[in-house]
Structure 1
Amino acid sequence: MRGRRALWFWVFVGPFALGLALFTYVPLVWSVGLSFFDARNTVTPTHFVGLDNYTAMLKDDAFVDSLKTFLVFTAFIVPATYAFSLSLALMVNRVRRARAFFRSVFFLPAACSYVVAALVWKMSIFNGVRFGLANTLLGWFGGDPVAWLSTTDPPWYWLVIVTVRLWLQAGFYMILFLAGLQRIDPALYEAAAVDGARPGWTVLRHITLPQLRATSVAVVLLLVINAFQAFDEFYNLLSDARGYPPYARPPLVYLYYTALGQGQNLGVGSAGAVILALIVAIVTVGQARWLRLGRTDADG
């Protein structure tokens, strides 16, 4: 009986474990090894160069600028998504009828492809001509058309990038906040009402947000990690037949052009990927410790 259970376990888990090993772990290990070699136009290590690839990457101003782009993107998208998804969750949680309908409607964009959403934003909403939706609205108020994706002073492209990511992911984090809200004991709100607490900001600040602390920590960590992985919206919004512009180039876009561009320097690209992975790990662990992830009030 025990042997049959083990057999069925590997029947169901085996294909997934094999695919995970072949297409995730093996490439990861190979990429780390490749970062110590001179590998141009090939994925086969040739000449061992030690830490030279890492030194070249850290001295590359374009790579440093890509990290600055990530910081700007994170500063925009993390608080915007947190506030918007929490607001949606609070509103949906107060609905007494058709709650499932509103929950599904707000979550639906999360199932949309990032590529498709980016093209809709680029071609229909912020396409830079006077017939685009955004410029049409500006025209109603007497404004001139704006080239949203090519204007760098002021940098209107951030509005396009942030809004498409916000539309895509707010519904997912709304679901996380809804799960946290439904775990709050209603007796806390009843006791607050008896004590004279006014519904609104006072209850939100002193009851709802403290009770959502664990959910908030998880949401912030996921938002920062997802911001590090930004690629699709940047690439599909800003690139064209002439290539990618020199501005708003996040780390993954920079590494894409380094490893698969004209030079195809896979050794340096792999070193950049390892550096980026280490930064993500350090930031995640630092956030977890700062936000006291996994600790309770009794732990101090």
Structure 2
Amino acid sequence: MATRSEAETARRGTAPRAATPRPARQRNRTLWFWIFVGPFAAGLALFTYVPLAWSVYLSFFDAHNTVSPTDFVGLDNYTAMLGDPSFRAALLTFAVFTAFIVPATYALSLGLALAVNRLRFAQAFFRSVFFLPTACSYVVAALVWKLSIFNGVRFGLANTVLGWFGADQIAWLSTTDPPWYWLVIVTVRLWLQAGFYMVLFLAGLQRVPPQLYEAAAVDGARPGWQTFRYITFPALRATSVAVVLLLVIGAFQAFDEFYTLLSDARGYPPYARPPLVYLYYTALGQGQNLGLGSAGAVILALIIAVVTVVQARWFGLGGRDEKAV
């Protein structure tokens, strides 16, 4: 007895087409998946995971001027790195940089997002204008800050403005008392990354239901600070946690602006050395102690992981309440 589908096929005068077996289709999907993903996975493994694994391997050996050592030293490199006052000073530099850049970037990017979100016209234009510095190279931006804005001679923009008010010139990058170099380092990083985090906050603001503001207005909440404090800011909790985490990790990885701003023909000054600059000179300096530098890199990676996990736990990121939202 013919089935309904077969009868329908016979009525239309077309022959039934044989269905592709499910295992064959699954094999085709797997094949195309590896065709597209395979080259990228191979590049990621070759240029990221293999060097990371080799760095961990080097950290247990005495690797002076070689990447294939044979003298196993165990945890001696880690002990020497943790006992090095210069490495601890580099971690202190990171802490100071984080204390400056994280709250400044958070406040500026949130303020820009609130201002752009309230615009009724040209919103896309201002969003693009503030986001544009993100595409700029850190090295190029640091050179502009160093040679044009905060140049230590009278031709620099900052010293020119000070001269209008009769103030003395300042050697911004070489004055350590007070440490004016922090102003240069923080402002260039602030200019480079504020637009990116502004976009993240804009995305969070657009997810806030308008009904909340309508209900608040019915309850008598005044627009402005009250609305921001009790509705907008709590609704941005998940975005705020993500922004803070990314800012702290980015501060740990600071290298380009520090090295470009402070180094010269004489080398790098003894102050304001973040961890990556210190590890750069340890592993690629005169001694080229790759084992010691690798141990420092592993310690830094572990610190970043611990800080990230602690922050996520502290703010409840990924908890039940967060998933419900």
2-structure distance, mates of 1:240, 1:130 = 19
Q: How many angstroms apart in 2 are the aligned matches of 1:299 and 1:265?
A: 46
1:41 aligns with 2:65: yes
Residue 76 (str. 1) matches residue 100 (str. 2): yes
Report whether the alignment pairs 1:174 with 2:174: no
Q: Partner amino acid for 2:153? A: V
Q: 2:308 — aligned with what?
A: 284
**For structure 2, which runs of at least 5 residues remain unmatched after alignment?**
1-24
User: Rg bigger for which structure?
Assistant: 2
Q: So what's the TM-score if we normalise by structure 2?
A: 0.91
- Equivalents in 2 of 1:297, 1:195: separation in Å? 26
After superposition, give the CA deviation of every residue in 1:133-185 in whole Å (9 maximum; x if it has no partner): 11111111111110000000000000000000000000000000000000001
What TM-score does the superposition give when structure 1 sets the normalisation length? 0.98
Shift of 1:299: 9.2
Q: Which amino acid aligns with 1:161?
A: I
How far the C-alpha of 1:46 sits from its partner, in A, is 1.9
Residue 24 of structure 1 and its aligned partner are, at CA, apart by: 0.5
Matched, 1:141 2:165: yes
CA distance in 1, matches of 2:112, 2:74: 50
Out of 217, 228, 253, the residue aligned to residue 193 of structure 1 is 217
How far apart in 2 are the matches of 1:124 and 1:11?
49
Matched, 1:119 2:121: no
Query: Mind listing any 5+ residue stretches in structure 1 that lack a counterpart?
Result: none
**Residue 86 of structure 2: which of 57, 62, 76 is its match?**
62
Match of 1:240 in 2: 264
Query: What RMSD in Å do the two structures reach over aligned CA positions?
Result: 1.2
Alignment of 1:1-300 (within 5 A): 1-297=25-321
C-alpha contact (below 8 Å) 2:130/2:195 kept by paired residues:
yes
Distance of 2:141 and 2:321 partners within structure 1: 42
Return the offset for 1:296. 4.2
Q: Which whole-Å CA distance do the structure 2 matches of 1:294 and 1:77 have between them? A: 25
In the TM superposition, what whole-angstrom CA distance separates every residue of 1:227-261 from its partner, at most 9, and x where no partner exists? 00000000000000000000000000000000000
**What is the aligned-residue identity percentage?**
82
Query: d(CA) in 2 for partners of 1:298 and 1:214?
Result: 7
- Moved segments of 4+, more than 3 Å: 296-300
**In structure 2, distance between residues paired with 1:298 and 1:105:** 32
Aligned length: 300
2: CA distance, partners of 1:189 / 1:116? 43
